[in-house]
Amino acid sequence: MLNHFCKGRKWFLVIVAGALGTFSAAQAGYAQGTWTTLAPVSPSPTEGMTVGGVGQVIVGAYGFSSSLGGNTNQTRLYNISTDSWSTGAAAPLPGRADAASGDTTHGGFLYVIGGGNSSVALSDLERYDPVLDAWITLAPMPTARAGAAAAVIDDGIFAIGGRQSTSGPCSGGPYLETVEKYDIDTDT
């Protein structure tokens, strides 16, 4: 009986060791990533942009740039293949920063949702087409806000939370619990 127990225990230990080895190898595979320095943001250092990947291009729109004197309406295009920046058509005014972050691309377009300029939170919804290098203004959100999060599910864009103040993150709010859905097909 003791011999049977020892054999069972040995098999159990072999299985556990194999599972741990597999888990450790998988973790080690992920732990070997590296960072590569790429071309700096051009034409100016900027924070609070809305960014999204469309094909082999990363679109960066709006944002705050102290070298440009505040909130901008610049469109920046980063080409992954050539590691280079170019400018796109100017986004609709007003300039802003802290528009909704997260998933803001759908169907090859970048959506810029809300944000804040120096005096007010915005409810604007803008869409950029990188193929035509053109912006269009869409139906505004019911609730103006800066610093919201966004997610795209099917043909809907969800704007979640945010704040009504424009003085930056952690500025004392008031913070919003509001969740609103934009229907891409009907522009509502």
Band of pLDDT at residue 166, cut at 50, 70 and 90: confident
Query: DSSP secondary structure string, 80-130?
Result: TTTTEEEE-PPPPSSPBB---EE--EETTEEEEE--B-SS-B---EEEEET
Q: Tell me 2's DSSP state.
A: H
Answer whether residue 188 shows pLDDT above 80. yes
Residue 145 and residue 176 in contact, taking contact as beta carbons nearer than 8 Å = yes
For residue range 61-101, list pLDDT tens digits in order.
999 999 988 999 999 999 999 999 999 999 999 999 999 99
3-state secondary structure of 179: strand
How far apart are alpha carbons 152 and 154 in whole angstroms? Answer: 7
Answer whether residue 27 shows pLDDT above 70. no
Residue 65 and residue 40 in contact, taking contact as beta carbons nearer than 8 Å = no
Output the average pLDDT for the chain. 87
Total H helices, total E strands in the chain:
1, 14
Band of pLDDT at residue 171, cut at 50, 70 and 90: low
pLDDT the model gives residue 80: 96
Question: Can you tell me the mean pLDDT for 160-188?
Answer: 87
Kind of pairing between the strands at 179-183 and 156-160: antiparallel
More confident: 27 or 39: 39
pLDDT the model gives residue 71: 93
For residue range 32-43, list pLDDT tens digits in order.
899 999 999 988
Quick one: residue 103, left, alpha or beta (phi over 0 = left, psi -120 to 50 = alpha)? Answer: beta
In terms of Cβ atoms closer than 10 Å to its own Cβ (0-12, 13-18, 19+), residue 56 is exposed
Question: Can you tell me the mean pLDDT for 168-185?
Answer: 86
